[in-house]
Amino acid sequence: MRYREKFTLVVGASGVADASLDLNGVDYEKRHLLEVGLITSAQVADGIEFWLNRDKVSDVYDYHLATIEASGTNNYKDTNRQASWSVDVELGDGDTFAVKGTSGGTGSTVYGYYEYEVV
């Protein structure tokens, strides 16, 4: 059975990896992470990082995310935006998959979800 856990990531001060939302594996419930979905409140040069334990897996910039902002300038930004990323990672006891945000100068809010199965 698939589960979806929603999260909100508030990205604030410039250049600081100041926000992190984790999905953890535990001994009684191992999780197979299938997908991470993201959307942003505004495209302001914020960076999003995917981490598995202590290793950075991927970088995603907010210009590649769909946005909920209502702006005429939004028409000139990347039109091939992605809403979800396939991950395919098994989280055992003590393993952590994290989505972290780094601000490009202006704060924004990233809304997302983890989609996983219990194995």
pTM score, whole prediction: 0.80
- The sheet carrying 96-102 orders its strands as 17-24, 96-102, 47-52, 55-61
Domains of the chain listed by start with CATH number: 2-118 (2.60.120.230)
How many Å is the Cα radius of gyration of the chain? 15
| pLDDT at position 78 | 55
Please give the chain's pLDDT, 119 residues, in tens: 899 988 888 776 555 555 566 888 877 788 999 999 988 887 777 788 899 999 999 988 887 887 777 655 555 555 567 788 899 999 988 888 988 888 777 778 888 899 999 98
Residue 114, amino acid: Y
CB atoms < 10 A from the CB of 9, how many?
A: 20
Name the residue among 1, 27, 28, 7 with its Cα closest to residue 114: 7
The torsion region of residue 94 among left (phi > 0), alpha (psi -120 to 50) and beta comes to left
